[in-house]
Chain A
């Protein structure tokens, strides 16, 4: 397991109690050997609860308001109330279900997980050029590593894993630690891809000092071109990915066709075009499934200047 579970933080005793009851229920069911059954049936309870206006008002008032504002200001054309309900369901269950899904064996995992576009990854690996998998922050993105494990594919290098493992939000301020550690990950990712392996990077990570601004979901938002620059340097194709949990509990993964690159263009132009394609694909994902976006990413997005 690369990324671990975490609960939404709250100083609200009522909500903490809700999470504890939920977790205890799942653990009791899992102890009785009903892990997958509990997983499938739990969504019914959550769906009923999180769709209730009283539950939204008492348990999740700030979050429900955040999701409504996010949908409106990002101009996602999604049904705000359905998005609020789904977002509450997914955030309530994410930590527990991620842990449960990570513990499933290959066959039970295959029962609940679907992958579309695996052929793009297999083709890249077969060509021996490695691949850069460009992920995006969604609630179940970390489950991609579980899928890789069950598919028998070596995970390679996850750029940003060191920072995540430190668990400190102020890490970027400590340049003396941050810069060499991330550079080392980039160096290892480059070597891994040149040897035919995988590298991973979340393309919608922290904006950072050096970024390229694009129009994105009604905001002027900066993205870093690091994924493109590293992959171009290694001669590896770039594959965007997605992971989401459907209302019936099915985990849906997607690997898209490689981003299109014009090798004859100047390097800076190539990076900019690749970034624009990534942002376009990410915007499409957001429009299709806004409830999969973590609340902190919604907050971050709303901080960018409006178009």
Chain B
């Protein structure tokens, strides 16, 4: 899966399964998904579970910090490092 494809899969999941109110457009790779309130703590937990299941990547507890989940771009970078 390319970076763009992965970003699209994550954006679609956030829009369909996590966002309390459906945004007009999917979040861009550099959109602050946590600071904006689009993804809350339960949403981030679900997103991590989705990443582990769909992308077959294990997220360690110490990886769950803002730096790695602030934007979809940051998440893609984390996944590619694993």
Contacts and interface: CB of A to CB of B under 8 A. Distances in A.
Interface in A224-239: 224, 226, 229-230, 233
A180 B45 contact: no
A267 B48 CA distance: 18
Interface residues of A, number: 22
A25 to B, nearest CB: 43
Nearest to A176: B66
A190 B65 CA distance: 18
Nearest to B61: A184
Interface in A134-177: 175-177
B49 interface: yes
Interface stretch (B2-10, B23-31, B32-40): B32-40
Contacts of A183: 41-42, 44-45, 48, 64, 69
Contacts of A229: 42, 46
B59 interface: yes
B64 A180 contact: yes
B45 A187 contact: yes
Given A175-B35, A180-B66, A209 B40 contact: yes
Chain B interface size, under 10 / 10 to 19 / 20 to 34 / 35 or more: 20 to 34
Contacts of A184: 61, 64
Contact of B61 (A175, A178, A187): A187
Contact of B44 (A179, A188, A208, A210): A179
Nearest to A177: B66
A226 B64 contact: no
B57 to A, nearest CB: 14
Contacts of B59: 187
B60 to A, nearest CB: 10
B45 A186 contact: yes
B49 A190 contact: yes
A179 B61 contact: no
B77 interface: no
A182 B61 contact: no
Nearest to B67: A180
Contact of B34 (A176, A187, A209, A226): A176
B45 A188 contact: no
B78 to A, nearest CB: 12
B20 interface: yes
A233 B39 contact: no
B45 A210 contact: no
6 contacts: A176-B35, A179-B41, A183-B44, A183-B69, A187-B49, A224-B42
Interface of A: 175-184, 186-188, 190, 208-210, 224, 226, 229-230, 233
**What are the nearest 7 A-B pairs in CB distance?**
A182-B41, A183-B44, A186-B45, A184-B64, A176-B66, A183-B45, A210-B20
Given A176-B70, A179-B34, A210-B42, 8 more contacts: A179-B40, A180-B66, A183-B42, A186-B45, A187-B49, A187-B61, A208-B40, A209-B20
